[in-house]
Amino acid sequence: MQSLGYIGFFAQAFQELSIEGTPGRVVSDHGGAYLVDEQLTTVSGRLRHAGTQPVVGDWVVVRDTIIQAVLPRRTELRRAAAGRRTEVQVLAANVDTAFVVMGLDDNFNLRRLDRFLTLAQGGIQPVVVLNKTDVSAEGESRQALVRQLHPTAPCGRISAVTGDGLDFLVPWLAPAQTVAVIGSSGVGKSTLINRLLGEDRLRTQAVRATDAHGRHTTTHRELLTLPGGALLIDTPGLREVQLWDDAGLDDAFSTVTNLSQACRFRDCRHDKEPGCAVRGQVADDELRTFHKLRRELRHQASRQDGRIRLEEKRPVRLIHRAQQRKYRGEP
């Protein structure tokens, strides 16, 4: 409903492809069965054959409890599972903002923050949420440090327990905005989510779903609707990110980085360069992941640079516009 514009945009494309059905959004994933709004669905054989796997947040087209199509994703929250099983895993789709939650207590760790921030790429706005101000005397200095290291990620301090500072989150919680809440275990994600949901948690989040046989079951949502109309994603997939938190990406990077010290060329891309110390030492798929991640990080950096430049120009543009109005005699 809120995103009819987006759906409408694709409706025509689907009509042309003669995909018929009702658009809906995946609110939870039960391993092969998906809750789409209030309906338990499965994926069509054709999609399964094509390797298409819906995730929470996906917009899909459903006919007779079968997902017929997955709409192109605006964004993907994903992790690169590096190492032996190299694959990029999509954790959630169509996410606007990622709240990266970190405790201001012993949990505070800049390296870990870096890793969680790498999840929010390709159009997802990362927002650093430093939690537990009520038990930390270093909140201010730590916030300053984060701001210095990640100038393009808004960073605020809150206490999910006392409710202090929650106003900071308001700009990203407008109606129809989708926010994924990530961060390692114990940082206060559940406490924060419960607080934002208020009394609505029990009322709206248990779902009486209908399956293909018309049977009713009670299930849960992982895409949660806030009273104000924003959507929060809280999936087990995101909760398990911590498993990767201290291994995966870091391993892939450190192995390649360490080996590359011995490459003949400083700027070796470990591709076809002679005297490369990395190629051959690292499994091909691992190297591919490394390249992919590095490309994504570069892309993210350049995107952020672009945004900074735009922001810097904004006041100038506003002044220009005001001057033009003045010359035209407009108010």
Residues at the contact surface with ligand GDP, assessed by CB under 6 A: 131-132, 134-135, 159-161, 183, 185-191
In angstroms, what is the minimal distance from the CB of 105 to ligand GDP? Answer: 8
In angstroms, what is the minimal distance from the CB of 89 to ligand GDP? Answer: 20
For residue 161, the partner it binds in ligand GDP, Zn ion, none, with Cβ less than 5 to 8 A by kind, is ligand GDP
- Which phi and psi angles does 271 have, rounded to 5°? -110, -85
| 250-269 positions binding Zn ion, by CB under 5 A | 263, 268
- How many other β-carbons are positioned within 10 Å of the β-carbon of residue 135? 12
Residue closer to ligand GDP by CB (options 132, 221) is 132
Residue 226 in contact with Zn ion, rule: CB under 5 A:
no
Please tell me the distance from the alpha carbon of residue 75 to that of residue 330, in angstroms, as a whole number. 41
β-pair type (22-29, 59-63): antiparallel
Residue closer to ligand GDP by CB (options 62, 155) is 155
Please tell me the distance from the alpha carbon of residue 115 to that of residue 106, in angstroms, as a whole number. 17
Residue closer to Zn ion by CB (options 63, 269) is 269
Q: What does the DSSP assignment read for 106-130?
A: TT--HHHHHHHHHHS-TTPEEEEEE
- How many other β-carbons are positioned within 10 Å of the β-carbon of residue 4? 10
Residue closer to ligand GDP by CB (options 1, 202) is 202
In angstroms, what is the minimal distance from the CB of 261 to Zn ion? Answer: 10
Cα 16 to its chain centre, rounded Å, is 31
In angstroms, what is the minimal distance from the CB of 236 to ligand GDP? Answer: 12
For residue 134, the partner it binds in ligand GDP, Zn ion, none, with Cβ less than 5 to 8 A by kind, is ligand GDP
CB 27 within 8 A of CB 221: yes
Residue closer to Zn ion by CB (options 298, 321) is 298
Please tell me the distance from the alpha carbon of residue 218 to that of residue 195, in angstroms, as a whole number. 23
- Which phi and psi angles does 68 have, rounded to 5°? -95, -30
Residue closer to ligand GDP by CB (options 72, 186) is 186
In angstroms, what is the minimal distance from the CB of 159 to ligand GDP? Answer: 4
Q: Which residues of 257-266 are buried (b: 16+ CB within 10 A; e: fewer)?
A: eebbeebeee
Q: How is residue 135 annotated by DSSP?
A: G
Count of chain residues binding Zn ion (CB under 5 A): 5
Site string for Zn ion, 266-305 (x = CB under 5 A): --x-x-----x-x---------------------------
Residue closer to ligand GDP by CB (options 41, 205) is 205
For residue 186, the partner it binds in ligand GDP, Zn ion, none, with Cβ less than 5 to 8 A by kind, is ligand GDP
In angstroms, what is the minimal distance from the CB of 185 to ligand GDP? Answer: 4
In angstroms, what is the minimal distance from the CB of 191 to ligand GDP? Answer: 3
Please tell me the distance from the alpha carbon of residue 307 to that of residue 302, in angstroms, as a whole number. 9
- Which phi and psi angles does 44 have, rounded to 5°? -65, 150
Q: How is residue 175 annotated by DSSP?
A: T
Which tokens sit at 125? 């706005």
- Which phi and psi angles does 122 have, rounded to 5°? 55, 50
In angstroms, what is the minimal distance from the CB of 268 to Zn ion? Answer: 3
Residue closer to ligand GDP by CB (options 37, 240) is 240
Q: Which residue's CB comes closest to ligand GDP?
A: 188
* Residues of the shown chain interacting with Zn ion in the complex, contacts defined by CB under 5 A: 263, 268, 270, 276, 278
